[in-house]
Structure 1
Amino acid sequence: MTTEHSPAPFGRALCAMITPFTEAGGLDLDGAQRLADRLVTRGCDGLVLSGTTGESPTTTDAEKAALVTAVREAVGDRARLVAGVGTADTRHTVELALAAEQAGADGLLVVAPYYSRPPQDALEAHFREIADASGLPLALYDIPGRTGTRVEPDTLVRLAGHPRIVAVKDCSYDLLGTQQVMSRTSLAYYAGCDEQILPLYAIGAAGYVSTVANVVPELFRAVLDAFDAGDTGRAALLQRRAVPLVGAMMAAGLPGTVTAKALLGALGLPAGPVRAPLRRADRGTTDALLSAYEELTGQLQV
């Protein structure tokens, strides 16, 4: 018995990649290239650049474009590159979309405008204007806990009729609403919350966009591979084994950007500091992250 998955326009195993900075706070393009190569070599077939985890609110437009260009140079055609271009300003988002297309992105991630909380008709018009502006396919990012605005299921159903709106990164925490959209459209659903990767994949999602993949890129790829091979027991075991690290990175009161950079730095991998108003994780937090990481990687080798 097999599960019918939605199409995967951006790959199935995606990492929401951090944006490495130098200790002085500048963009570390060499570090970004080394990290991207590691992620792709160890299982990711897609990378999301300049998303929330990539600190998009505090990187400049020029830095966002330079990041796409550098990562494309590093990974070539081994992975799809999705550029986060969402802002609270439709005009600015269009400008970023066009710049990402020119820099070599394969697709765009567009979050619902935050803070202003537009009603659903305005939200729909916002997404359509961006989809009309460039030739790249779009993934809509539904994360009302951060934006304050839900992309309602009926709105997603209507937007699915646009030829360039092809996917959803789902952090809605609304399993019923997600299934309603999946049952009525061909939108590719990507789990945007690491604890939901296997549950959503089991009901037909295309894959995931993971923050935890920054440090263990092979983990959730193994979950999908086991499920596809019919070994649902192993897929469930791997998902459960990830829980302590997922909790430490995503549910401990700090943004995933902070915890991912702390752990990457402790492992000697490209990361650097976060930009204000975010602050580095303290030593105790970093030690706890390392402990959860070491426990998980030890289990993966068994």
Structure 2
Amino acid sequence: MASHLKQQEQYSMAVPTKILVATDLTARADRPFARAKLLADIWNAARTLLFVSSPKTEVDIAKVEAQLLRNYGADAEGCNLAINYGKPPQVIAETAEQLDSELIVVGAARHNNISDFFLGTAVDHLVHHARSPVLIVKERPRANYDRILVATDFSEFSAHALRTALDFFPAAKIELVHAYHVAYEAWLKSDGIADEMRSDAEKELQDFMTGLNLPESDASRVTPHLVEGNLHQSVHNMLDSGDFDLLVLGTHGRGGFVMATIGSRASEMMGWSPVDVLMVRKPA
């Protein structure tokens, strides 16, 4: 196991070739570690394990390597090891940029350590500052991400999130969900308003899909889905059905979608999601 940061060669591939995995060195971090191992095997990607320590504590590299091997066994062999000091969200984002990592993988266990750093305001820092998508692993990996839910508000940010899901998981079936709202006052004024607003949403969804200009192989894997009501609640209901393996969210968008994916709603959405969550920030 290498004990230093190692730059990898750039590859012109759609799937990530370099994965950064944040770990707190405990056995309970096995879920993000195992998911990263599964993805790395599929993508033939290199993995770097990142341990973030307090600036006041000097880390014994040999002990860290021994602990990783003890907790993760032979699967830890071949991984690069990075040890940095500071606040985890900031260090993770900076390390990912330094290594040109194309995916950051973190855990979702509720403990007072790196495993729960994404809860609350810390996720804002990581998502806003990390150039790479952030995968929050909640479930023990037992299969590939074959069924994916992508939320859209028809913005370029959600379009980028969809394209990322298509690129990362070329065999997955993807359901694209958009929620449109019919005001209560509209129901009172006219029975036809609701139908008209749905028709407008259908037209906008069609225009959005056309504008993506996806190759047929990708377009055939996407099933657009319109729901009336609140996007946040609609996503919750769909995930609760147990039909999906992964939720993909863009980190910016129009109107309320911003607050539905980051900021005050981030920990809420990722907290109740029963599946892993991939947060995708559109590059500048």
Fold shared by both chains (TM-score > 0.5): no
Q: TM-score scaled by structure 2?
A: 0.31
Instruction: Please say which structure displays the higher CA radius of gyration.
Output: 2
Q: Which has the higher helix share?
A: 1
Normalised to the residue count of structure 1, the TM-score between the two structures is 0.30
**Structure whose residues are more often strand by fraction:** 2
